[in-house]
Amino acid sequence: MILFDRVWFSYNKREVLKDVSFSINAHERVSILGESGEGKTTILRLILGLIRPDSGRIIIDGEDITNKTEEELSQVRRKFSIVFQEGALFDSLNVKENVAFCLREYTKMSENEIDNRVKELLRIVGVEEAIDLMIEELSGGMHRRVAIARSLAACEPKMFLYDEPTSGLDPVNADNICRLILELSSPLSHPLSKGGIEGGGKGFIIVTHKVFDAMKVADRFMFLRDGMIIFDSDKEKLINTPIPEIQLFIGEINLKSQRPIT
């Protein structure tokens, strides 16, 4: 679904990505790891066409999006559910109105249909009781869940994109968000997916520097260093990699002791 072909990107004359190439299928569960400033979020923004590469091609579903217009890119973006780290919720609106915003903007639903859809989405992410709260009244974990609900409101995504979804959360809330990420990607047979996310079994890309959380949800791991992908493989190879930069990033954490979410 996603193909980067020799992509270069610079910001203020600083090379952020250097000759980056990879492909990701829509069903894959991928984590992009690396230290701050290494270009992890840049990759997500390039996928969505929010920024354009200096050179190289980005292909989504067989279409080269590198030079598409904003109108054409809007169709590309609807293929993804995206949750950026800041959440992008409107502080002046309550939870219901935040989630309903995209439904009013991009669909022809009636107010009754919108009301039912908002309740359904909040139920799916586990915060239906927060429907009338203002954003400032939400805990960190609830804020992240509402942001996910809003990202799902006006699209039927082929893939989920998460930018540091557990950053700043305590271990319990981080674990809950990881569980939600897995639930939303599960087939329709999963109880939380019924009536909400069409298709089931969808993949995701999660950008994070929190190795524990990445290990809980992802099957494939990419590691960015100095603008290049220096690792792209599975969990076992990540744990046992001889690459010094990754060993340092992992530190003394015994990743082998990590257990998947059940």
Please report the beta strands in 25-92, taking only residues with DSSP state E, as ranges in sequence order: 29-33, 55-60, 63-64, 80-83
Q: So what's the pLDDT on residue 46?
A: 97
pLDDT category at 189 given cuts 50, 70, 90 is very low
Q: So what's the pLDDT on residue 154?
A: 65
Among all chains, which residue has been given the structure tokens 């400032």? 136
Query: Which whole-number Å values give the CA distances from 174 to 68, 86, 166, 213, in the listed order?
Result: 36, 15, 5, 8
Q: So what's the pLDDT on residue 21?
A: 98
Rounded to whole angstroms, how far apart are CA atoms 259 and 16?
A: 34
Domain-wise residue ranges, the chain: 89-154
Q: What percent of the chain has pLDDT over 70?
A: 89
Query: What mean pLDDT comes out for the span 64-69?
Result: 95
pTM over 0.85: yes
